[in-house]
Amino acid sequence: MSFTFKDTKYRSAKVVNGVTRGGPRAHLKGLGHTAEEFGKPFIGIVNCFNEMHPGHIHFDRIGKAIRDGVQQAGGVPFEFHTISICDGFLQGHIGMCYSLPSREITADSIEIMAQAQQLDGLVFICGCDKTVPGMLMALLRLNLPSIVVTGGPMLPGRVKGQEYATYELKEAAGRLKSGQITEGEFFELEDALSPGPGSCAMMGTANSMSIASEALGLTLPGSATTHAVEGKKIRMAKESGRRIVQLVEENLLPLSIVTQEVLEGALRVVMSVGGSTNTSIHFPALAYEAGLNLTLEDIERISSSTPYICKIKPSGSHTLLDLNDAGGIPVVMKELSSMLPLDRMTVTGKTFRENIEAFANSNKEVIRPIANAYMKQSSLAVLKGNLAPEGCVIKQTGISEKMRRHTGPARCFSSEEEATEAILEGKINAGEVIVIRYEGPCGGPGMREMLTATSALMGVGLGESVALVTDGRFSGSTRGPCIGHVSPEAALGGPLCAVQDGDSITIDVDGRSIELHVDDDELQRRIEANTFTPKPQAGSGYLKRYSGAVSTAKYGAILK
């Protein structure tokens, strides 16, 4: 009797081959697997199903479809789970401190499972703000045959014939507080704005990074905008399950697909549709895992040379459903074809050019040709100056023309909660610049989103007269003159720690500058006199370890 069950070209041969592997084989037999299956490729299905989150609630069904596809193609599926959190539940409290740090746990936990179990290939099911980048980081780090299945957006909410996304509830809270709407109208919105499964129906981080997955060549064409409720999403999952077995046989690896030019091309695609400011954290982190390099300067170079061709909520009135109906990301890539490396290989075994050939633009107002772009420059702008020597980020597609250059007196706060309270209580005046500090990766810790504050600002009608500057970050649903990712952060002695109420600050988006009008010597004196005390939530556990190891936003808030 032979103790060789599997060709050694498969990593999993280490698990089943040889007389000393009787224990693992016994375990597999106890699970119902046959000796014949020992010879097939072992495929890991990485699932972040979660019953509390709309972005993940349907992943059990997607996982089953993938398993079916793997089995049809002659592989053996092994599904395992990793953590997932929904930023929608974390706004305005300590929970948000765990959002960005969860990205690293997601990536690390997948590495541990894939390496410990010696899986041959992986299918990644992801869909929310940190699960998509976390899984992409693991995918690039492991460099095993892999394919991504994104969960898809939820349908937009509908109230009285108008379409909405969930972020608009935050703004509605400000309108309720200022008497613009009634409680009944608010609850009508609340009942309708998250109508079912899927990532929030806007160009937030989840959808921005799902688009990145497709533009990196790691999903089937059309995956990013195929909605969660569509049968097509299940068919694509099943097809991805079949395809991963072929990828293992072909030994087509992620780092053969994701080159420097493909990474930059994917960022260009995301910028062209008004992608989230959070991409400026996640793309450098992806580059790091792939052994590549992408800096804030690169992001500025790419964004400033990319036309803005899709105006999706919150920057415009179109929805992800409109984008999907117009042809989705394949059509966006077609419109940008002269600027992208379309002859590179993808997980389909075909090039980008071959993948998008059959797609046509069915709505040139939703996906505009370059010649009719909304703007010559796309989503993000990187500003530098004495207030942000290493840079900071603004989503320039979401601000009014009158706020592209603004000078005003500072109003300083040491947390989002303090700033939000002041906004909702009417204590912020037109023309001011709100400064929220000690919310960076180290000082927050965890670089919380300031969505509650920024939405309140829009809701009370100050979105075109008050700017906001922070070393924290924003949700992709943030709009208005909001500047985040100020680096170095205040907790590390960055100039933001030295701002005082009444100091004049000038923000110049077109000039790519942000200046604190304080003498250099006085600024240095204030910085040296600053004493930062870590926030109580960093006192123990994971956040304490994270705070001590995380890099600045400039480098993608990675752990080294």
DSSP 53: -
Measuring CA to CA, how many Å separate 367 from each of 183, 271, 323, 376, 410? 37, 13, 7, 14, 39
Q: Is 520 left (phi over 0), alpha (psi -120 to 50) or beta?
A: alpha
How far apart are the C-alpha atoms of 301 and 391, rounded to whole Å?
Answer: 13
Start-to-end C-alpha separation, the chain? 49
Tokens at 473, concatenated? 């970050």
| Pair of tokens at residue 508 | 């110049």
Name the binding residues for Mg(2+): 87, 129-130, 449
Q: 213: which 2 tokens? A: 């997955």
| DSSP characters over 215-279 | HTT-S-TTTTTS-TT-HHHHHHHHHHHHHHHHHHHHT--HHHH--HHHHHHHHHHHHHTT--TTH
For the chain, the farthest-separated pair of C-alpha atoms sits apart, in whole angstroms, at: 84
Q: How many residues does the chain have?
A: 560
Beta carbons within 8 Å of 289's beta carbon, 6+ residues apart: 107, 136, 137, 138, 140, 141
DSSP letters for 109-126: HHHHHHHHHT-SEEEEEE
Q: Is the dihedral of CA 488, 302, 140, 226 positive or negative?
A: positive
Determine whether 475 is an active site residue: yes
Q: How far apart are CA 413 and CA 490, in angstroms?
A: 12
CB atoms within 10 A of CB 114: 23
Choice among 84, 475, 477, 487 that is catalytic: 475
The Cα–Cα gap between 121 and 44 comes to 6
What DSSP element (H or E) covers 344?
none
Catalytic site residues?
475
